[in-house]
Structure formats: C-alpha cells, structure tokens
C-alpha cells in the first residue's frame, strides 16, 4: 500500500514538473499588438504558418489585437457602426452578453463595449 502511494506521488510530481504544463507568458499584451501593426502581422504570419503555435499566448494576443484593430478601422473610417449605438442592442440580452464577453477579452472596439454596457443597464429586470 505504501509502495502504491509512493509511485502515485512520484507520477503526480513528474506530471506537475513537466514543462508542457507550465503557463507560458506572452511577450506582449493585446494593447501592445494593437499599436504595433508590423510586429502583430509578423506574429500572425508565424502562427498561421505553424499551427503548433495555435495556443501560444502571443498568437492569442495578436489575434485579439487584429480583431480589435479591424473593428476600430470601421469606426475610424466614419462608416455607419450600428453596434456603437445602444439602441442597436434594444432588449436583446443575448447580443449584449456576447458583446460584453468580447469586450472582456479585448476583442471588440471600445465604442461597442460602451454601447453594450449602456444597453445592459437599461434591460428590464
């Protein structure tokens, strides 16, 4: 019985010490990638060329920054942006929740986040 516990403990220690299970820190944040387009595109090219990087923190941050930059480009181009208007959400709790979820991951432009927060405050309780 003691031998089984020692073997079990050794297995747990071996797995917990494995580098594959360590949390990888990103070199740069989503905000940094949003303001550094050339570096963002370089990382995205690497990530798209080799899918072993799919779950790397930098690939995720660069992808989020790309989504945010794309959404922001629509706002800056003076195009109609219905999601920046709280009226767009009406009383659609699902659309509000989805947008706020995107906002929490820095995957939506600030104008959408503000509009969704305002719409959320006016949902019937």
pLDDT, tens digit (0-9, with 9 covering 90-100), for 77-118: 445 778 888 888 888 889 999 999 999 988 888 889 999 999
What's the rounded Cα separation, in Å, for the pair 20 and 47?
Answer: 18
> Tens of pLDDT along 4-22?
444 444 445 555 544 554 4
> Tens of pLDDT along 50-62?
888 878 888 888 8
87 lies in the same domain as 66: no
Residue-range definition of the domain harbouring residue 125: 81-125
What's the rounded Cα separation, in Å, for the pair 85 and 5?
Answer: 61
86 lies in the same domain as 121: yes
| The model's pTM | 0.46
């Amino acid at each position: 019985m003691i031998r089984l516990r020692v073997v079990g403990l050794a297995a747990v220690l071996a797995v917990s010490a494995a580098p594959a299970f360590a949390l990888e820190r990103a070199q740069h944040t989503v905000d940094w990638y949003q303001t550094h387009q050339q570096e963002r595109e370089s990382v995205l090219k690497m990530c798209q060329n080799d899918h072993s990087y799919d779950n790397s923190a930098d690939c995720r941050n660069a992808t989020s920054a790309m989504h945010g930059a794309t959404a922001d480009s629509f706002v800056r181009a003076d195009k109609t942006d219905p999601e920046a208007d709280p009226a767009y959400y009406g009383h659609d709790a699902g659309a509000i929740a989805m947008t706020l979820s995107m906002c929490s991951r820095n995957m939506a432009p600030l104008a959408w986040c503000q509009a969704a927060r305002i719409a959320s405050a006016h949902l019937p309780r």
